[in-house]
Chains A and B, each alone.
Chain A
Amino acid sequence: DGGITQSPKYLFRKEGQNVTLSCEQNLNHDAMYWYRQDPGQGLRLIYYSQIVNDFQKGDIAEGYSVSREKKESFPLTVTSAQKNPTAFYLCASSIDLSPDTQYFGPGTRLTVL
């Protein structure tokens, strides 16, 4: 079955450490996205990518970095520069960079200790 996988489901990090969240899709989608979700807030866009080797900052990119070396993969690194990284992180993909349907992964909950 096609879909989006995110790993790990839960992640704990000490302050000052970088950590990388995995996102893989086998939907053959060109566009991929990373969102951050905090309680009582909607989803906020961190980064997005339209094609391999190209990505753009979203609304809250500070303290995060991404890469897009393969069409299927769009990992997100939460760096030590991110001041409040504890959150639920969602990866999504769509056929292309358009308002068409975005499909979401199951999410990774990151907790900074």
Chain B
Amino acid sequence: AQSVTQPDIHITVSEGASLELRCNYSYGATPYLFWYVQSPGQGLQLLLKYFSGDTLVQGIKGFEAEFKRSQSSFNLRKPSVHWSDAAEYFCAVGGSGTYKYIFGTGTRLKVLA
């Protein structure tokens, strides 16, 4: 079955600390992978995406993610978190020949001053 797992429902980090949000997927075809961020009561904004090529992907707001096929993972990282990064983060997977995204259940990030 196709699925996306974000094992951490909530994560709390101090401002300036590093961050890693986990995403594991199960997908039968070559995956197209996405990370979106959602502020409370708002829509989703694309942070970064991976379709092919270099497995380390750079995104907006200083985020990056690494695709590891052997681990079926696409973890999101940021070296130094800012208070404005507090939001909910969603990982999603799609595939060639399909329109459909499968979304994870999200990880809510809290940043301590």
B-binding residues in A (CB < 8 A): 4, 6, 31, 33, 40-45, 48, 50, 58, 88, 90, 92, 94, 97-99, 101-107, 109
Q: How far is the CA of A105 from the CA of B101 in the complex (A)?
A: 16
- Whether B34 lies near A101 (C-beta < 8 A) is yes
Contact indicator per residue, chain B 85-99, by CB within 8 Å of chain A (1) or not (0): 000001000111011
Q: How far is the CB of B110 from chain A (nearest CB, A)?
A: 16
A-binding residues in B (CB < 8 A): 4, 9, 32, 34, 36, 41-46, 49, 51, 90, 94-96, 98-106
Closest to B3 in A: A42
Q: Which of B46, B94, B99, B105 contacts A42 (CB 8 A)?
A: B105
Contacts A41-B105, A42-B104 given; indicate if A98 touches B99 (C-beta within 8 A). Answer: yes
- Whether A102 lies near B41 (C-beta < 8 A) is no
Chain A residues contacting B100 (CB-CB under 8 Å) are 45, 58
